[in-house]
Amino acid sequence: MQVDGHIHIGEASRWAGRACSRLTGNMVLRLATGIGAGVAAVIPGLTAAWFVTDGLGAPGWLYLPVMLLVMFPLLLLALHLLRGSLVGRYRRRLVERGVTNPLPLRVIVDADGLTTLTGVVQTRAPWSAITEIFPVGPYWVLLIQGSPSFVARRHFADTAEERGFVGAVVERLTADARRRSAAAARFAAG
């Protein structure tokens, strides 16, 4: 079985964190926890500043919650803009180095493993190296020794072809990998 299409440089970056969280845990939760810990560390200093400013007749206690309500959304917006600018810079730098964008993509499933041809690079993975296949956003993600490989759903002519691809992958996985790929197995079964 073979799937052909193209993929833009960095197009799956929005989904990479979610894909890698299968191994690292929920990064959004970790980020929120980190932000919460940072805010908790800042609160004593802000409280002390409040006592000082209140003693000087500055605005009352309301400034702290208002500041936090403004700070958190701005931090999330900044992280979103930063990711977007980094992906754009990454794309531009690769194009400057002669890498085409988008890259042609071919994924081949055979008895020995999975072969991915992205641009001029060929990656060959035996079935024992593929630890899971699962859906994330508009992609099927294959975890190959911990590295996500994205296959866009748009590359399939229809749902039947997509089910055939996912089923061909699932049936060749090890028993442990099939267990982790329950969502893919359900999709392939229809």
Question: Are 5 and 152 in contact, with CB atoms under 8 Å apart?
Answer: yes
Question: Are 169 and 114 in contact, with CB atoms under 8 Å apart?
Answer: yes
Which of 45, 79, 96 delimits the end of a domain? 96
What is the distance between the alpha carbons of residues 132 and 60, in angstroms, rounded to a whole number? Answer: 54
**Residue 158 in tokens:** 């229809």
Q: Are residues 107 and 185 in the same domain?
A: yes
Q: Are residues 84 and 22 in the same domain?
A: yes
Q: Mind listing the pLDDT tens digit for each residue in 76-125?
A: 777 777 777 777 777 788 788 888 888 899 999 999 999 999 999 999 99
Q: What is the pLDDT of residue 111?
A: 95
Could you tell me how many helices (H) and strands (E) the chain has, helices first? Answer: 6, 7
How many of the other CB atoms lie within 10 Å of CB of 16?
17
Q: Distances in Å between the alpha carbon of 93 and those of 2, 18, 41, 97, 126?
A: 31, 25, 38, 6, 32
Q: What is the pLDDT of residue 52?
A: 66
Q: Are residues 89 and 160 in the same domain?
A: no
Q: Are residues 91 and 122 in the same domain?
A: no
Q: Are residues 112 and 145 in the same domain?
A: yes
Residues of the chain with confidence (pLDDT) below 70: 14-15, 17-31, 34, 41-42, 45-46, 48-71, 74
Q: Are residues 126 and 75 in the same domain?
A: no
Residue listed under structure tokens 């194009």: 95
Q: What is the pLDDT of residue 185?
A: 97
Q: Which residues span the domain enclosing 138?
A: 2-8+102-189
What is the distance between the alpha carbons of residues 40 and 68, in angstroms, rounded to a whole number? Answer: 11
Which of 53, 69, 96 delimits the end of a domain? 96
Q: Is the pTM of this model over 0.85?
A: no
Q: Are residues 111 and 92 in the same domain?
A: no
State whether residue 115 is helix, strand or coil.
strand
Q: What is the pLDDT of residue 85?
A: 76
Q: Are residues 70 and 121 in the same domain?
A: no
Q: What is the pLDDT of residue 69?
A: 66
Q: Are residues 165 and 182 in the same domain?
A: yes
Which of 96, 119, 135 delimits the end of a domain? 96
Q: How many structural domains are present in the chain?
A: 2
